[in-house]
């Protein structure tokens, strides 16, 4: 398939470079000549945008690639200047995949919780897709999430082995059960991008920042593809990378530092967008600019973890001139 998002990015960067060149040459150009050249550039932007739109329509490329009619800066993204890289959490920042993950965890563990309650004569308390997911699962590798949640309920299971079947009463079996429940949910429900996330990713790339995904999920890349965002990022540090490079999960800074290395960015010139306290702590430890993403109780948790800037969504950061086609 013709990949027009990258074409749009390169065109945007070239047009913006022309704009900056005109700004630099302004002192030595006659007023009339400068006005003429600026008019030509405005027309070139318009024609490029229309041409991309026609090409997208002819090839069935959806959604149509975006080209801004103004030069994009970091400030228009709600960020300080001199940044070279941006790191995004997947769940809750770019996609609604946290809802799908939480549902898969409930499907995986509620049967176990029911059996334990019956065996021990306890009241059955199902997995809470809000509190339990946020407190024990969100942002953790899958097996670590299994242990954190079971510990919270005072349940002990044998560790088992990575090859355990989904019906095995082991920690690895439960992790596999969650993975299979997630696959079923993705097949039936799919994944959606959070409103404004696609435009923010586009604008970030058009401002010249490299874009990376950081996620403890083993399904980060498939979820990006389902949400239609895979062509808008340059790299992804996910469960596979974490395992291969033996990175400590957040709140340790390892994952973010690895993402910066892969993007060729100094951490002091990078920003991380995260909805979790562990993500905030990792960003501060790594020396990145940290933007917490969340509302209500989640926002309070982010503030308590040290996030100085908190927004309800990426769309809230975007300059209004970039928010529409």
Residue numbers annotated as active site = 89, 91
φ/ψ region of 60 (left if φ > 0, alpha if ψ in -120 to 50, else beta) reads: left
- Number of C-beta neighbours around residue 218 at 10 A: 17
Contacts with 66 (C-beta within 8 Å, 6 or more apart), sequence order: 8, 199, 202, 325
Rg for the chain, CA atoms, rounded: 23
Tokens describing residue 279: 């993500």
CA angle 171, 254, 108 (to 5 degrees): 25
Contact 304, 312 (CB under 8 A): no
Helix (H) or strand (E) holding 102: helix 97-120
CB atoms within 10 A of CB 129: 17
182 vs 226: CA distance, rounded Å:
14
Order of all β-strands in the sheet with 309-311:
235-237, 210-214, 85-89, 270-274, 289-293, 309-311
Using N-to-C axis directions, what is the helix angle for 296-304 and 277-286, rounded to 10°?
Answer: 30
């Amino acid at each position: 398939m013709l990949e027009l998002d990258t074409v749009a990015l390169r065109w945007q960067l070239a047009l913006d470079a022309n704009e900056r060149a005109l700004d630099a040459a302004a002192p030595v150009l006659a007023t009339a000549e400068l006005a003429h050249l600026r008019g030509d550039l405005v027309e070139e932007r318009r024609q490029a945008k229309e041409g991309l739109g026609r090409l997208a329509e002819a090839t069935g490329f959806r959604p149509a690639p975006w080209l801004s009619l103004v030069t994009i800066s970091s400030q228009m993204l709600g960020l300080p200047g001199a940044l070279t890289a941006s790191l995004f959490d997947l769940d809750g920042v770019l996609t609604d995949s946290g809802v799908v993950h939480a549902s898969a965890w409930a499907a995986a563990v509620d049967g176990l919780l029911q059996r334990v309650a019956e065996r021990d004569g306890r009241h059955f308390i199902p997995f809470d897709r809000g509190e339990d997911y946020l407190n024990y699962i969100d942002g953790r590798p899958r097996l670590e999430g299994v242990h954190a949640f079971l510990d919270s309920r005072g349940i002990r299971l044998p560790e088992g082995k990575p090859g355990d079947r989904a019906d095995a009463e082991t920690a690895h079996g439960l992790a596999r059960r969650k993975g299979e429940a997630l696959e079923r949910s993705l097949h039936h429900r799919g994944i959606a991008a959070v409103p404004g996330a696609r435009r923010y990713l586009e604008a970030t790339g058009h401002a010249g920042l490299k874009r990376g995904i950081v996620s403890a999920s083993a399904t980060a890349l498939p979820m990006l593809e389902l949400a239609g965002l895979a062509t808008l990022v340059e790299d992804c540090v996910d469960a596979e990378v974490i395992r291969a490079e033996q990175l400590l999960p957040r709140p340790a800074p390892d994952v973010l530092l690895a993402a910066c290395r892969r993007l060729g960015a100094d951490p002091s010139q990078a920003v991380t967008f995260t909805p979790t306290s562990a993500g905030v702590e990792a960003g501060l430890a790594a020396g990145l600019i940290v933007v917490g993403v969340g509302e209500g109780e989640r926002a309070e948790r982010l503030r308590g973890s040290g996030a100085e800037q908190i927004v309800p969504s990426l769309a809230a950061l975007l300059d209004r001139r970039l928010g529409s086609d």
